[in-house]
A = this chain, B = another copy of it.
């Protein structure tokens, strides 16, 4: 009874709101618009209550629809969650890219700090989205393939910086050791997606630094810096910046 829902079509409708107005029918336009409104309502609920409280019925209520009507647009609660995850990855990616691109091109340290600050800013502004993406997995939910593209936008920014640092000769190749064989094998999946100009050792350090960025923001958002770091926002920022500077030293970005 359900119409053949194209998942990719939904994503298009959601992520490309302003494409040139082609000769689409009224129905097509209404469908795209309502799909976007459903996702927007879901996003608002996520922002306020968190992923656990997200329900199709509440989305329907907010839009003045009967709950079953939502099923014309979204196959299930899980699919809606997937859309939100994709959107979160995407806006986070955009925020980090934007911040990094606004920094002076020649100053790698500044570009790194800008990226980190952008990451943290977005996360503090969207705590539930952050939790959805980097926190505990939603029980019974398995992320589909569609998320891996958007998920890699931020890492890709970091990879760009690492490559730039390597190209600029900023990485201490004396200190760069050869990795043990098993560690090199462990890294083979990432290795495939990263330019050869980044040596294995730098790649391993890059993962360390990426872990650190996400870990630091997790700690802050999930309350693990209580009684550790002062609560005053400026001091928190100073601490984070200091931590990220230390991280940057590991990969020639300080």
Contacts and interface: CB of A to CB of B under 8 A. Distances in A.
Interface string A197-226: 000000011011001101110110011100
B230 A186 contact: yes
Contact of A183 (B131, B215, B232, B239): B239
Given A208-B246, A222-B134, A182 B52 contact: no
Interface stretch (A14-22, A117-125, A187-195): A187-195
A132 B139 CA distance: 12
B180 A222 contact: no
A50 interface: yes
Contacts of A185: 230, 235
Given A189-B228, A211-B212, A246-B204, A182 B238 contact: yes
Contacts of A232: 186
A160 interface: no
Contacts of A143: 223
A50 B52 CA distance: 12
A135 interface: yes
Nearest to A229: B186
Contact of A207 (B183, B190, B228): B228
Given A180-B242, A189-B230, A214-B218, 11 more contacts: A49-B139, A53-B139, A131-B137, A135-B136, A136-B136, A182-B238, A186-B229, A187-B229, A189-B229, A211-B216, A212-B215
| Top 10 A-B pairs, shortest CB-CB distance | A215-B215, A135-B136, A131-B136, A186-B235, A186-B239, A182-B238, A211-B215, A50-B139, A183-B242, A190-B228
Interface of A: 49-53, 131-132, 134-137, 139, 143, 148, 179-180, 182-183, 185-190, 204-205, 207-208, 211-212, 214-216, 218-219, 222-224, 227-230, 232, 234-236, 238-239, 242-243, 246-247, 250
17 contacts: A50-B136, A50-B139, A51-B136, A52-B139, A148-B227, A183-B238, A189-B230, A190-B228, A204-B246, A208-B243, A208-B246, A208-B247, A211-B216, A214-B219, A214-B224, A215-B216, A215-B218
